[in-house]
Amino acid sequence: MKILVPIKRVPDPALKTKVKDGAIDLTGANWVVNPFDEYAVETALRLLENGEAGARVAGAEIVVVTIGPEDAAQQLRSALATGADRAIRVDAEDKALDAGVVVAALVQIIAAEKPDLVILGKQAVDGDANQVGQMLAGKLGWAQATFAASVELAADQKSVLVGREVDAGVEYKRIGTPGILTVDLRIVSPHSVKNNVTPATFAYPDGPRYASLKGIMAAKKKPMDVKKLSDYGVTTTPVTREVGIELPAARAAGQIVADIPTLVKKLADEAKAI
C-alpha cells in the first residue's frame, strides 16, 4: 500500500501574531510542520506498520509532498525523519499559491504517484481554511472522509472505516481506495488507528512520534525530488487574493470579583446576563 501525505509549513502557532504593512509579519518566523499534517504523517505510519514490533509492513511506502519555497524542504526532512520514505517538493513562492493551485498540482502528483490513500491534515492552522482535502477529492472524483478521529483499514486493504467528528457526534463512513482522508486531533490517540497488523491491545503514546537521532540521520539520505509547477503542467493561477488584514479588537479588561454573591449580582444587574 502506498500513502501520499501533502504537508504545509506554518509559522509556529505558539508565537504572537504581528501585522506589518498590511500583512502578517513573518520576518524571523519560526516555521514548523502544520500540526494536523504531522498527525497525517503519523496516521500513515500507523496504518503501514506493526506498532508493537516497530516494523514497517513489507512493500508499504509513504511519500510526503509540499509545495513551497526552498526553506520548506526542512519540513519535508522532519517528516522523513519520523519515517516517511521519500519526499517531493514543488518549488513555488507562497504568493503564487492558493487552494486551487495547490489542488491542481496535487492532482498531477497523484496521477504520477498513484497512491492508494492520500492523507492530509483537516486544516492548516495559519489560514484555517479547511479546503484542500475536499477540493482534491472533488477534482479526482474520489471519496473523502474528512475530520477523521479514527481509521480502520479493512483486511483486504480495499477500504477504510473512518470515525468522523461531526457536530452531532461521531459519524462512521466507509470509503474505498483510492480515497482521501483528512485528519482531526484525536487521530493520534493511542487506539485510533487499526490496521490488522498492530495488535489491538497495543497502545501508542498519545500524539505524533518524535524523530529519533537515527531517523534524523537516515532522513538526510532519503530521496527528495524538486519539481516546478510547470513540470506537472500546472497553469492554474490563484483566484484568491488577500487585500487586507487586521488584528481583532482587544477585549476590555475584566475584573476579579471577590465572591460568588458579588458575581451573581453583577451578572444580573451590570451585564444583565442572567
Partner 1 sequence: MGNVLAFCEFTSSGPKSSALSNLTFARQAAAAHGGEVIALLIGPGAAAAAGAVAAFAAKVVTVEDPGLDNYLAETYAPIVARLAGEHGASVVTATATSVGKDLIPRAAALLDAGCASDISKLAAKNQFVRPILAGNAYSTVEISSPVICVTVRQSEFAPAEALGAAGAVSSAPAGAIDAAGATFDHLESQKSDRPDLGDAKVVVSGGRGMKTGENFKVLEQLADLLGAAMGASRAATDAGMVPADWQVGQTGKIVAPNLYFAVAISGAIQHLAGMKGSKTIVAINKDKEAPIFQIADYGIVGEWEKAVPELIEEIKKVKASR
Please select the residue that binds partner 1; options are 55, 170, 217, 226, rule is CB under 8 A: 170
Closest alpha carbon to 143 in 180, 107, 182? 180
Q: Which residue has the cell 488584514?
A: 245
Q: Which residue has the cell 465572591?
A: 259
Which residue's CB is nearer to partner 1, number 3 or number 187?
Answer: 187
Please select the residue that binds partner 1; options are 65, 72, 147, 148, rule is CB under 8 A: 147
Q: What end-to-end distance do the CA atoms of the chain give, in Å? A: 57
**Would you count residue 264 as binding partner 1 (CB under 8 A)?**
yes
Beta bridge partners of 4: 63, 118
Give min distance, CB of 126 to partner 1, in A. Answer: 6
Give min distance, CB of 222 to partner 1, in A. Answer: 31
**Would you count residue 137 as binding partner 1 (CB under 8 A)?**
yes
Closest alpha carbon to 82 in 125, 123, 39, 34? 39
Give min distance, CB of 129 to partner 1, in A. Answer: 5
Taking CB under 8 A as the criterion, which residues in 188-227 touch partner 1? 189, 206
**Would you count residue 233 as binding partner 1 (CB under 8 A)?**
no
- At 101, the amino acid letter reads V
**Would you count residue 111 as binding partner 1 (CB under 8 A)?**
no
Please select the residue that binds partner 1; options are 143, 151, 193, 229, rule is CB under 8 A: 143
Q: What is the sign, positive or negative, of the torsion defined by CA atoms of 84, 220, 203, 40?
A: negative
Please select the residue that binds partner 1; options are 29, 85, 113, 165, rule is CB under 8 A: 165
Closest alpha carbon to 83 in 61, 59, 106? 61
Q: Is 185 within 8 Å of 35 (Cβ atoms)?
A: no
Which residue's CB is nearer to partner 1, number 68 or number 179?
Answer: 179
Taking CB under 8 A as the criterion, which residues in 67-96 touch partner 1? none
